[in-house]
Amino acid sequence: MKSIRLRAGRERSLLRRHPWVFEGGVERGKADAGETVRVEASDGRFLAWAAYSPASAIRLRAWSFDEAERIDASLFERRIAKAVAARARLGIDSDALRIVHGEADGLPGLIVDRYGDVLCAQFGAAGVERWKAVIVEALLDASGALRVYERSDASVRGLEGLAPRTGWLVGEGATEVEIREHGWRFVVDLAEGHKTGFYLDQRHNRRRFAELVRGFGSRRVLNCYSYTGGFGVAALAGGAEHVTSVDSSAPALQRAVAHVALNGFESARHATLDADVNQALRDALEAGERWDAIVLDPPKFAPSASHAERAARAYKDINRLALTALAPGGLLLTFSCSGGMSVDLFHKVVAGAAMDAGVDGAIVERLGAAPDHPMTLFFPEGEYLKGLVIVKAT
Ligand code: SAH
């Protein structure tokens, strides 16, 4: 077993059970991509067993802080079984859910989503890449799923020095799977969809939106960054008269149209707009359009804290426009899925947007990722999705 020695003082984060060590923290030692190494403090004492990633700025990802623990196939079997069992207790009203959420499940770099009897997995770090065969076996065992599709095409693969790879790992056939979320039906394309196909982290926020639309009696709804129309279906289910889905992806909008029909809603209650949201909101304001409820669920504007300032401006702009375009008493669901933007900063940005818009309102609820996307107490980077429900003053 190779040892990696950390620089003096750089043992602190592992001692706090944070699973990462950056390149600059390493004093000496080398290993192959994904190889298990013993990480030691500058005085030689054991800190963790970790996967070594020679090409990544995140040089080490800890598997275990327990010197007695063996990093072998049974560890992956145990962790995966535990992750699957943990989801079963959450009472998730869907057959589509995240069964492995990386660091939070003790499997740094691994994301696995379940869509019915198909799994979609993303191997985002050298460690899990090296253990892929063992992981796939353990996933089949623990979940009872029949097929596994790989979506290792996220940009983080490049940062890890790993080539992108997509395709079936187990099984074959159509990559379109129908799922049922809160009784609503959606078709997910494992091969072409964003991420692993569907934004599962917004599941309970979609249901919450349906309840709020019902409670507020919202009639006209604007679903910005709609992707395949999840929040739009929720709004229609909540009794909205009309929903407009805005997205810059034509294939996503086509699916949104199909989802409205699949859920039994008249097509006349839904319109799509293939456009940049910022521009669409400006045009709508100029035309004097107003909505009773607006969802803003943009892509990651700030992938890391270093992008936070520029991202803050982009978030502020769309929130200002949306708050202006809302009818008095209207409802805004606004999100940021940027890991680089804290809950506090997001709150400030939205407050600044309201100030600029000359709009008063109240935050009636804070939202986060669905519980199958847990955060560990020791890994603050795991908190990424945050949302606010704002009611515009009358
Ligand atoms: N709310 C969705 C997920 C949104 S993901 C759901 O619940 O399923 C973000 C979406 O924003 C993607 O579909 C992407 O195509 C779209 N997008 C990215 N940049 C955009 C822009 N400038 N204008 C409009 N849509 C954009």
The tens digit of pLDDT for each residue in 9-53 reads 999 999 999 999 999 999 999 999 999 999 999 999 999 999 999
Name the pTM for this structure. 0.95
Which runs of consecutive H residues, i.e. helices, occur in 242-375?
Answer: 250-262, 277-286, 308-325, 343-357
Q: Predicted confidence band at 248 (pLDDT cuts at 50, 70, 90)?
A: very high
Question: Mean pLDDT over all residues of the chain?
Answer: 96
Ligand 1 centroid vs 295 CA: distance in angstroms?
11
- Is residue 340 pLDDT above 90, yes or no? no
Distance from C-alpha of 103 to C-alpha of 107, rounded to nearest angstrom: 5
Pairing state of beta strands 361-368 and 386-392? antiparallel
331 C-alpha to ligand 1 centroid (Å)? 19
Is residue 35 a contact partner of residue 53, using CB atoms and an 8 Å limit?
no
Ligand 1 atom nearest to 231, measured from its CA: 7
CA 236 vs. chain centroid, Å, equals: 24
Distance (Å, rounded) from C-alpha 218 to C-alpha 17?
Answer: 46
227 Cα nearest atom in ligand 1: 13
Nearest-5° Cα angle at 320, 292 to 206: 45
Integer Cα distance of 358 and 76 in angstroms = 54
Is 242 strand, coil or helix? Answer: strand
Is the pLDDT score of 120 beyond 80? yes
Residue 37's pLDDT is what? Answer: 98
Calculated CA dihedral for residues 311, 315, 317, 319, nearest 10 degrees: -170
Q: What is the pLDDT of residue 309?
A: 84
Say whether pLDDT at 253 is over 90: yes
State residue 364's pLDDT score.
97
What average pLDDT does the segment 340-360 reach? 94
Instruction: Report how far residue 46's alpha carbon sits from residue 43's, in angstroms, rounded to the nearest whole number.
Output: 9
Residue 259 CA to ligand 1 centre (angstroms): 16
Q: Is the pLDDT of residue 305 over 80?
A: no
d(CA 253, CA 249): 6
pLDDT-based confidence at residue 171 (cuts at 50, 70, 90):
very high
Query: Active-site residues: which are they?
Result: 337
pLDDT reported for residue 375: 86
Cβ atoms within 10 Å, residue 45? 9
- The SS3 of residue 190 is coil
pLDDT at 377: 80
For atom 21 of ligand 1, which residue has the closest CA? 276
User: How far apart are the CA of 58 and the centre of ligand 1, in A?
Assistant: 28
Distance CA 242, CA 247 (A): 17
Contact (Cβ atoms closer than 8 angstroms) between residue 216 and residue 238: no
Residue 80: the pLDDT is: 98
For residue 332, list its beta bridge partners.
294, 390
User: Which residues does ligand 1 sit against, CB inside 6 Å?
Assistant: 194, 199, 202, 225-228, 230-231, 246-249, 252, 276-277, 297, 299
> What does the pLDDT average to over 181-204?
96
**Given a cut of 90, is residue 313 above it in pLDDT?**
yes
